[in-house]
């Protein structure tokens, strides 16, 4: 009888210890969950709810205005054009740079990565000012190219100038994201492929790119999202005169004459839906690439 009485408290103690071990990770996670709610979920919910409010009533008027306004649709089109082409170009250049870094000396590689890490934070007003000095109307590189007759006219403040700036800040981010993925490639694979008679192009087409495709697709979607959300650089360069969707949202939130935060919320929801759609397509392509790679490995 006494042994049963003693065993019950020990069982309760072990059970409480078991629950304490389970709750400890949740307690450590609580501050992160709080910050995630305050700075991610709460603003998104506020934007979503307010996008349906017009004249203090629930309405779809803001969404009708978005898809009937050629000016807002032009901003969306310009943002998508800049985001897609700058991401493709930045990803291509970053992939070639990372592939080259694997063949150079370790100290040089570490120096390039350190410089890339530093330049990835070079954005906003300083980046716009640097481009004005280099590629502006009287920029150093612009005048040099004109002197040698390589260009006749270059407008930094138009879509091609903005595309050049977007590509510039996409490359460092692409390098930092792709650098760990290229470590998955083994030099023995290329040597084995060469032994079997494959040339360099066949190695990249049949072996390297299938292995890297999930990382390439994942990096592409991050670059597109990064470009779609860019605001400070394009605003500092064009003073808000070039129509991109982030400038339109900012003008509706902080404008003196056209203050319409609920319309800005609706545009933000459309932007989030576009990014969500791109993300779903990206995840589908990644799943297909994994499936194709596993099928190829089984064969």
Residue 12 lies inside a defined structural domain of this protein: no
Residue 207 lies inside a defined structural domain of this protein: yes
Dihedral pair phi/psi, residue 58, rounded to 5°: -70, 125
Residue 268 lies inside a defined structural domain of this protein: yes
pLDDT values of the chain reduced to their tens digit, one per residue, 299 residues: 444 444 556 555 566 666 667 777 777 888 888 888 888 888 889 989 988 988 888 888 889 999 998 999 999 999 999 999 999 999 999 999 988 887 777 788 888 888 888 887 787 888 888 889 988 888 888 888 888 887 777 788 888 889 999 999 899 999 988 888 887 777 777 778 788 777 777 777 777 888 888 888 888 988 998 899 888 889 888 888 888 999 888 888 876 667 888 899 999 999 989 888 888 887 787 776 666 555 555 55
Residue 88 lies inside a defined structural domain of this protein: yes
Q: What CATH number does residue 230 fall under? A: 1.10.3720.10
Q: According to DSSP H, which parts of 148-298 are helical?
A: 159-182, 187-195, 200-203, 209-228, 232-238, 245-254, 261-298
Q: What DSSP state is assigned to residue 104?
A: S
Dihedral pair phi/psi, residue 247, rounded to 5°: -65, -40
Q: What is the pTM of this model?
A: 0.80
Domain region containing 115: 70-297
Partners of 53 in the β-ladder: 58
Cα distance between residue 198 and residue 206, in whole Å: 9
Residue 122 lies inside a defined structural domain of this protein: yes
Residue 233 lies inside a defined structural domain of this protein: yes
* Domains identified in the chain, total number: 1
Cα distance between residue 230 and residue 225, in whole Å: 9
**All residues at 6 or more sequence positions from 59 whose CB lies less than 8 Å from its CB, including other chains:** 52, 53
């Amino acid at each position: 009888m006494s042994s049963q009485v003693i065993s019950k408290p020990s069982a309760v103690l072990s059970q409480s210890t078991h629950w304490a071990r389970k709750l400890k990770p949740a307690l450590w996670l609580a501050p992160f969950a709080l910050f995630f709610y305050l700075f991610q979920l709460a603003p998104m919910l506020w934007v979503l709810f307010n996008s349906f409010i017009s004249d203090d009533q629930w309405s779809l008027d803001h969404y009708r205005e978005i898809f009937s306004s050629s000016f807002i649709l032009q901003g969306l089109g310009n943002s998508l054009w800049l985001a897609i082409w700058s991401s493709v170009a930045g990803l291509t250049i970053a992939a070639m740079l990372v592939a080259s870094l694997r063949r150079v000396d370790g100290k040089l590689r570490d120096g390039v990565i350190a410089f890339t890490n530093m330049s990835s934070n070079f954005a906003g007003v300083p980046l716009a000012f640097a481009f004005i000095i280099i590629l502006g109307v009287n920029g150093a590189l612009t005048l040099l190219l004109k002197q040698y007759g390589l260009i006749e006219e270059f407008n930094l403040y138009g879509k091609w100038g903005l595309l050049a700036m977007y590509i510039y800040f996409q490359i460092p981010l692409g390098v930092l994201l792709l650098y760990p993925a290229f470590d998955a490639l083994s030099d023995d694979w290329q040597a084995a492929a060469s032994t079997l008679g494959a040339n360099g192009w066949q190695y990249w087409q049949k072996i390297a790119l299938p292995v890297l495709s999930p990382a390439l697709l994942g990096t592409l979607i991050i670059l597109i999202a990064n470009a779609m959300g860019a605001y400070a650089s394009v605003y500092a360069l064009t003073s808000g005169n070039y129509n991109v969707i982030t400038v339109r949202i900012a003008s509706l939130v902080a404008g003196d004459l056209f203050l319409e935060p609920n319309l800005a919320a609706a545009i933000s929801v459309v932007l989030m839906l576009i990014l969500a759609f791109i993300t779903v397509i990206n995840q589908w392509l990644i799943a297909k690439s994994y499936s194709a790679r596993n099928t190829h490995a089984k064969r």
